[in-house]
């Protein structure tokens, strides 16, 4: 059974710009450039009728196209041992509205709400035993990173399968914004 999530794809040129951020950070496992995306809603493991219900609910989501700007880098969690490096997203009411519409639709399909708050970002790397000073140096070096505007005219359902080299994301279904 695959884990599912809803996301926004990033143009190849933007992914290439983010790929240039990858540098020598001890303990970093960098995301493959072709896997970089902005997750709108993690769904989890679904199959059969539950998956069809989720897809039918997403069919009902309506929103207008918009643009995103990427800005800055950071890490999760904000306190304690860092586990993730990310690229941030400029505040976007249109993005937040799309996220809310997707969450409401999935809620009507019987899926529980996510436990975590939505913090728009693109995961660059997963960290293991990375010294906090190395993370601080990365953030200082790249905190002025900017990319975009990125046209957002669709959203996508992806499946994710864990492999020996990390997760492999596969596009399943797409929905246009109009």
Report the pLDDT value the prediction gives residue 70, as an integer from 0 to 100: 98
Instruction: Evaluate whether 89 touches 68 at the Cβ level (below 8 Å).
Output: yes
All structural domains of the chain = 3-176 (3.90.1140.10)
Identify the pLDDT of residue 168.
85
pLDDT in tens, 1-52: 779 999 999 999 999 999 999 998 999 999 999 999 999 999 999 888 899 9
111-145: buried (b, 16+ CB within 10 Å) or exposed (e) per residue? beeeeeeeebbbbbbbbeebeeebbeebeeebeeb
Q: What is the mean pLDDT of each run of 10 residues along the chain (178 residues)?
A: 92 96 94 95 91 96 98 94 97 98 96 92 97 96 96 96 81 95
pLDDT at 167: 80
Residue 4 near residue 43, CB atoms below 8 Å:
yes
pLDDT for position 165: 72
pTM greater than 0.95 (yes/no): no
Q: Phi and psi at residue 129, in whole multiples of 5°?
A: 55, 35
User: Concatenated DSSP letters for 93-136?
Assistant: HHHHHHHHHHHHHHHHTTPPPPSSPP--EEEEEEESS--HHHHH
């Amino acid at each position: 059974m695959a884990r599912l999530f809803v996301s926004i794809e990033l143009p190849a040129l933007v992914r290439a710009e983010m790929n240039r951020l990858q540098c020598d950070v001890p303990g970093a496992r960098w995301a493959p450039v072709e896997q970089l995306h902005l997750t709108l809603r993690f769904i989890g493991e679904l199959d059969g009728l539950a998956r069809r219900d989720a897809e039918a609910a997403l069919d009902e989501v309506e929103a207008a196209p918009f643009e995103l700007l990427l800005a800055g880098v950071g890490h999760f969690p904000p306190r304690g041992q860092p586990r993730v490096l990310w690229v941030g997203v400029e505040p976007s009411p249109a993005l937040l509205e799309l996220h809310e519409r997707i969450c409401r639709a999935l809620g009507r399909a019987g899926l529980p709400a996510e436990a975590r708050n939505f913090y728009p970002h693109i995961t660059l790397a997963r960290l293991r035993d990375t010294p906090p000073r190395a993370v601080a140096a990365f953030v200082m070096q790249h905190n002025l990173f900017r990319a975009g505007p990125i046209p957002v005219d669709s959203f996508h359902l992806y499946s994710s399968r864990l492999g020996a080299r990390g997760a492999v994301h596969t596009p399943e279904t797409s929905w246009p914004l109009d």
